[in-house]
Amino acid sequence: MKVLITGAAGFLGRRLANKLLRLGKLRNAAGVEEIMARLVLLDIVPVEGFSDPRVSVVSVDLADPQVLNRVVDAETASIFHLAAVVSSQAEADFDLGMRVNLDAARLLFETCRRLGHCPRVVFTSSVAVYGGDLPEVVQDDTALNPKSSYGIQKAIGELLLSDYSRRGFIDGRCLRLPTISVRPGKPNKAASSFASGIIREPLNNEETVCPVTADTRLWLLSPRQAVDSLVFGHELVAEAFALNRVLNLPGVSVTVGEMVETLGRISGQAAVSKIRWESDPVVQRIIGSWPGSWDMTRALALGFKGDRDFDSIVQAYIADDLNGAR
């Protein structure tokens, strides 16, 4: 079987690629484990560092209507669609967000439909689909009322995935991710970039800015559990999703202040002093519109796993990305 990852140059995409290469197989449409003979890593920027003979790298613009016809074919049994323009960037550049987050997703689903073999499609959505007046704990049946263009575009992607699945064009599974923390690498244009930065930079002895107040509540998931969940969500039979192809993944609810306390406990006050508090009203508004927690009953019943607490999230970052050194 051939597997495609879009947005493969991102940290989740790279980590997922490595995990799939280690596993070497995935369940096919019949529910039977099959050898992954080829893994296509697609991104608009070159995906570097993969020398495995099963891997082919494609550096293209996913939103170009001609591209997907060349990349996706009847051998493409599974697609992990991770490519996205992140929240603050989609807010700053409306057209770019619409093009990548909406048009490219639709093009991908439509390409699958034309091929007619109903591939399995794992699509990532986000806390950002929620907004407005929210209950303290968001429920599975809480309405979406996104207050960012990114959230709107992801919510539309969810609806398209649901309908393309209901009609049998794709076998879609949409996993709503909590904010990912601690993301390795550099800060990005996600409004939630700080949710990794305030831990990552101090642990790497670098200065960082926290743009939100200490009482801001976040709903978090480690990259390790996120990638495990992507694979787990792929392996489930379609019937497990019943009437709803969109699933809220487990998370950990913490305030920014509690995150910083954890940092201090693990790495000392010198690390904490690397954080400069400097409020950014745009970031505060976007982040403040997201839920601080949601009900996890359905995900846990299906067998998905979250992190134990924020301590274990930080420890996972140290183990996975700092080679165990703090």
- The contact set with a second copy (CB under 8 A) reads 94, 132-133, 135, 140-147, 149, 152, 155-156, 159-160, 162-163, 166-167, 243-244
CB of 188 to a second copy, least distance (A): 22
CB of 93 to a second copy, least distance (A): 12
Is residue 150 part of the annotated active site? The answer reads yes
Nearer CB in complex with a second copy: 223/292: 292
How far apart are alpha carbons 131 and 143 in whole angstroms?
9
Neighbouring-strand partners of residue 34: 26
DSSP string, 171-232: EEEEEEE-EE-SPPSS--SSGGGHHHHHHHHHHTT--EEE-S-TT-EEEEE-HHHHHHHHHH
CB of 99 to a second copy, least distance (A): 12
DSSP state of 99: I
Q: With contact defined as beta carbons under 8 Å apart, do 312 and 266 qualify?
A: no
Nearer CB in complex with a second copy: 105/182: 105
Nearer CB in complex with a second copy: 30/243: 243
**Cis peptide leading into residue 182 (ω within 30°):** yes
Q: With contact defined as beta carbons under 8 Å apart, do 226 and 266 qualify?
A: no
CB of 157 to a second copy, least distance (A): 10
SS3 121: strand
Catalytic residues: 150
